[in-house]
Structures are given as C-alpha cells and as structure tokens.
Amino acid sequence: MDHTILDSVIKITSQRDVDSLEYGLVATLAEMLSAESIAIYKLVDDGIKIILEETVRLDMKQNDDHSDDLEWTEGPKQICNDQDIQDCMDSGQPVRFSQKEQLTRIILPIACDSKVVAALNIQSETDLNPTLKVLEGMIKVYENYLYILNESERDKLTGLYNRRTFDKKLDRLLQIQRNKQIYLIEGSKNQEKRTIKPYSETWLAIIDVDNFKQINDKYGHVFGDGVLLLLAHKMKLCFRQTDYLFRFGGEEFVVILEPNQRQHAYDTLDRFRDAIATHNFPLVGHVTVSIGYARITDTDYPPAILHSADKALYHAKENGRNRIYNYETLVADGAVQATRMGANILG
C-alpha cells in the first residue's frame, strides 16, 4: 500500500471523537489532493425547518513562494440551499462536475449505519479523476470509524450522548462561542445567515426524574428503564436537533440548549416538563421531573457550570419537585449563594 494512503488511514483512525474525526478527514485529504477547498455538510433540523450546515471547511491557496496558505472555517454555519449537495444526500450517490473532461468538483455522500448523514464537497482546479477510487476508499474508512466512534459516544439504553463525551462537546461549544464573539467584534462580512439573536445565551439544564428510586423499588428495574427510555424519547421530540442531549447515568440527564434568550430557554424546558407530567407511563402512571438550569459563558469551566445548574436543581427538589429554577435568577433573588468564579453572574 502507498505510504501516503497508509499514513492517511492512521491519521483518520487516531481521532477520538466525531468532531475531531471531521477535521481529521478534511486535513488528511488536503495533504493528498491538490484542491481549492474541502468541506463537510450536514442536514440539521433546527426545530423550524431542515437546514444545510457547513460543519468544517478548509480553503487552500498557494502563495507566490509556492507555500500553501490554509484557512479553516469554524462551523456550524448555515448556508443557502445547495441543490447539488441535497441531490447527493438524497440519492446516496456522488455528484460530479467536469470541465474539458477533467473532474473539478465532486460531492461524496457520507453514511453511518446505512443512513446518509453528511456530504463531502471537494473543489479543485486540477483533475480529480485519478484520485477518485482513493477518495471513495478513504470515505469508506471514515464511515466505518465514524460508526465505531458514534457508538462509543452514546448511552446504551437511551441512545443519548453519554457522560464521557460531555466535556469534549462542551469545550467544542465554548470554542464556537468564542469564535462567534470574534466574528461579531470584527464585523465579518461573510454570508452567514443563521445569526445569534440579540441577548441570546447558551444554557445548560440538569433534568432529574422525581422519586425514581421509588419507581424502581415498586415496579422493578425493567419498568424503571422503560421510564428512562420514554423520557429520552420525549427529549428528542421536545428539544431541537441542534441541542445536545446527555444521559449522565441513573435518572439524571443534561441538556445544552443552543443560544437563545432566557425566557425562551425557560419556555422550552417547561414544555418538556409538562410533556412528562401529563404523560401516562405504562403501569407506573404519573411521573414528574425537576429541572435546574444555568447560563454558559466562554469563561466557565464545565464543573462550575454543572455545579450552578445542580444548585438550581436542588432548589427545585426542595421546593416541591416538578419545577424549574434558573441559577442566575436564584442568585439575584438571594435564594442561593453564588459560587461560580470568574463570571458576571448577575449580568
């Protein structure tokens, strides 16, 4: 096997999470090909409509001294509808563009567990035909490893993200927040359509099933697991695809809500709380959840954010259960003491 290809396979399979895997694939192909740009796109349900997002992009230009100038674009970024990418994902087949019998652009579908989940777009001024078989082979390696990583990031019972992936996902989210702040400060003139609403913030919520031990003791673990499965299903229905959903273990779940205003975050969480409270669980009947949530800033550490939300959750438990409390509001009202360092809690 060509050493370049072998090194590329090693580079891709050295990644340890899905986000890094995307960057690994793009970086690897950039070393193998003479391309102008390489990007990965995904279809995302934002709760209103299905949108096309560019999750990672690398643009390559050659300087006068023949050195490469590489420019990474941090995603996710919504783009205008691209029918060619849509056709590729719908059909599961590559879409090719040629000029003078030279392949100058190719869109390749990326599948996971037999379902197309993304598309890889490569544009080049040189002919891509000689590398087509290698490209398709690299995609297969990527798909196989994507499936393995995706399984390792998921809770076996509910299919939500597991506790082990939380820190990496939150770190990634905080980095995106920092990049967006830079974008706003510098007044970039790119064509990004999906913008943060004024005064919008990111929120972390801890959800805990009330009296879950009693459910397990009375009905057994099989029905207890059934409650958790139905709760996870309700989470997938009530929250957006762009929100991160985790099962932390036992009856505790965590949600990272995409940027929005505080009242909207509360309304979203309250709809979920009500959906659980009004659902008739098989045999168990009435089940409720308590929720505490806190603001995420790019200066916070994951343990501090969790501790803040947990304080609000504890307040909900102590004040009747089946309730939602916000940490910042509780601090402002004097109901709990501020413990987070390095953050403007009352801002």
- CATH numeric code, 3-152: 3.30.450.40
Return the pLDDT at 65. Answer: 65
Strand 115-123: give its sheet, edge to edge.
68-78, 50-62, 37-45, 115-123, 102-112, 95-99
Burial level of 197, CB count in 10 A (0-12/13-18/19+)? exposed
Say whether pTM exceeds 0.85: no
Give the domain 161-333 fold: Alpha-Beta Plaits (3.30.70)
Q: What percent of the chain has pLDDT over 70?
A: 80
Model pLDDT, residue 205 = 98
Confidence check: pLDDT of 62 > 60: yes
Q: Is 143 exposed, middle or buried (0-12, 13-18, 19+ CB in 10 A)?
A: middle
Rounded distance, CA 145 to CA 233, Å? 26
**Beta strand residue intervals within 180-239, DSSP E:** 201-209
User: Which pLDDT score is estimated for 76?
Assistant: 67
pLDDT for position 193: 44
Percentage of residues of the chain with pLDDT beyond 90 = 46
Task: Give the start-to-end residue ranges of the domains of the chain.
Answer: 3-152, 161-333
Question: Average pLDDT for residues 249-263, to the nearest whole number?
Answer: 91
- Which residues make Cβ contacts (< 8 Å) with residue 16, sequence separation at least 6? 149
- Residues 34-60 have pLDDT tens digits of 889 999 998 876 656 677 888 889 998
* pLDDT tens-digit map of 192-224: 444 445 456 889 999 999 999 999 999 999 999
Residues 300, 332, 211: CA angle, nearest 5 degrees: 80
Burial of 86 (0-12, 13-18, 19+ CB in 10 A): middle
Considering only 9-18, 22-31, 170-179, 308-317, which range has the smallest mean pLDDT?
9-18
Assess contact for 72 and 86: CB atoms under 8 A. Answer: no
| Helix 18-32, helix 166-186: angle, nearest 10 | 60
- pLDDT above 90: residue 319: yes
Beta strands across the sheet bearing 201-209:
161-162, 244-249, 252-260, 201-209, 289-296, 324-326
